[in-house]
Amino acid sequence: MRRPVVVLAMVPALTPQLFTPELLERLRATSEVLDGDPLTSFDEERAGRLLAEAEVLLTGWGCPRIGRRVLDRAPRLRAIVHAAGTVKGHVSEACWERGLLVSSAAAANALPVAEYTVAAILFANKRVFRLQRRYREVRAFRWWPDELPGLGNFGKTVGLVGASRVGRRVIELLRPFDLAVQVHDPYLTAAEAAELGVRATELDELVATSDVVSLHAPAIPETRHLMDRRRLALLRDGATLVNTARGWLVDGEALVDELRSGRIDAVIDTTDPEVLPPDSPLYDLPNVFLTPHVAGAMGAETQRLAALAIEEIERYAAGEPFRHGIAREDLGRLA
């Protein structure tokens, strides 16, 4: 087994969480890591020296874009292994033209997103978010099914928008529960839906007939404001919208109007813009459960991403194909 030269490129603050001493030892067992301090810019003098030797770029969040000028300085570069999700921010068209092998740890990042989503779905149907606030207000016994008719998970319908990595993991995790799951994805065939144990349906029907609608579609031109004013109005009274994908998918102004009516609830982990302005109504609306983009890998969970990336480098060193390789033609379907 040969030992490829690996250069790191990512935000330095992330590396202590991503790479434990045990993981770094595993990486160094099959690779030559030239410098333990990751590059944050490809323009610095150190970058020129490291790029000249690099065969594999091990990238992460904050990696600079890898354009033609960078590639000219990296004549030996053969692969980019991303210890995070999407590669669209740093892998340029020049990388594909050069024929570089590209891998992503999106599959590992999908797991915590799916776990967050399933928790949100179960809590939403149980009306936990509203009940927590209401109980704090009244501080007394109520017959809660009268206050919130239909609460509970038994027999509820969950609609997933996107049979992505996350969407498929959510399907798997929901199997033990007495829920009906339906999915909209333009690339999902009836046979694939049957194999997954879900019902394939058109988007409008899914939105109108689900108790919880959870978004798992990529942020591409075709999905901009997929949940627009007309489609948000289709949500049944008492339904919950869950967004762990991208704020890009939802018309934010229209969503605020629907939420202000009190007709629906929302669990929102991703917004547009990514950090909302301080005066955003979403911070204060009582029927919104808002989190700061934490559904994906955080803290110790990031080590799963690093382990997957190291496994890919081990496969590369052994002359084996990536297990989680990204093809140029897949970009239009990926987050």
Examine the pLDDT at 333 and tell me if it is beyond 80: no
Q: Are residues 120 and 247 in the same domain?
A: yes
Whether residue 65 contacts residue 46, with contact meaning beta carbons closer than 8 Å, is answered with no
**Residue range 64-105, pLDDT digits in tens:** 999 999 999 999 999 999 999 999 999 999 999 999 999 999
Same domain, yes or no: 15 and 91: yes
Tell whether 148 and 227 lie within a shared domain. yes
- Reduced to 3 states (helix: H, G, I; strand: E, B; else coil), residue 101 is strand
**How many other β-carbons are positioned within 10 Å of the β-carbon of residue 54?**
25
User: Pick from 26, 35, 30, 44: which is nearest to 7 by CA?
Assistant: 35
- pTM for this model (two decimals): 0.93
Average pLDDT, the chain: 95
Of 55-59, 84-88, 257-261, the poorest mean pLDDT is in: 84-88
Residue 294: partners with Cβ closer than 8 Å, 6 or more residues away: 116, 269
**Rounded mean pLDDT, 244-272:** 97
- Catalytically annotated residues: 246, 274, 293
Distance CA 12, CA 23 (A): 16
2 pLDDT band, cuts 50/70/90, is confident
Q: Do 15 and 143 belong to one domain?
A: no
CATH (domain of 234):
3.40.50.720
Ranges of H-type helices in 59-183? 68-72, 93-98, 106-125, 128-138, 144-147, 165-174
Distance CA 200, CA 184 (A): 6
Same domain assignment for residues 315 and 202: no
In the sheet where 212-215 sits, what is the strand order? 199-200, 179-184, 156-161, 212-215, 240-243, 265-268, 288-290
At 233, the amino acid letter reads A
Distance from CA of residue 113 to its chain's centroid? 6
CA torsion sign, 107 to 205 to 237 to 149? negative
What is the model's pLDDT at position 51? 97
- Cβ neighbors of 5 (< 8 A, separation 6 or more) are 31, 32, 34, 53, 54, 55, 56, 76
122/100 same-domain check: no
Residue 279: DSSP 8-state:
T
Pairing of strands 32-33, 56-59: unpaired
Cα–Cα distance for residue pair 56/312, rounded to 1 Å: 11
Instruction: Tell me, yes or no, whether 137 and 284 share the same domain.
Output: yes
Is 262 found in the same domain as 124?
yes
C-alpha neighbours within 13 Å on the C-beta side of residue 81 = 28
| Phi–psi pair at 207, nearest 5 degrees | -65, -40
Q: Are residues 130 and 32 in the same domain?
A: no
**Residue pLDDT, tens place only, 224-250:** 999 999 999 999 999 999 999 999 999
Residue 224 lies in domain:
110-290
The model's pLDDT over 186-199, given as tens digits with 9 standing for 90+, comes to 999 989 999 999 99
Tell whether the model's pLDDT for residue 218 goes beyond 80: yes
Mean pLDDT of 47-72: 96
Are both 274 and 126 inside the same structural domain? yes
User: Per this entry, what is the length of the chain?
Assistant: 335
Q: Give the CA angle between residues 50, 53, 58 to the nearest 5°.
A: 65
For residue 171, give the nearest of 200, 139, 198 by alpha carbon. 198
For the CA atoms of 22, 24, 27, 29, what is the dihedral angle to 10 degrees?
Answer: -70
Quick one: 305 and 183 in the same domain? no
- Name the domain count of the chain: 2
pLDDT at 164 > cutoff 80: yes
What lies within 8 Å, CB to CB, of 66 at 6+ separation is 42, 57, 80, 90, 91, 92, 94, 95
Residues 258 and 174 in one domain: yes
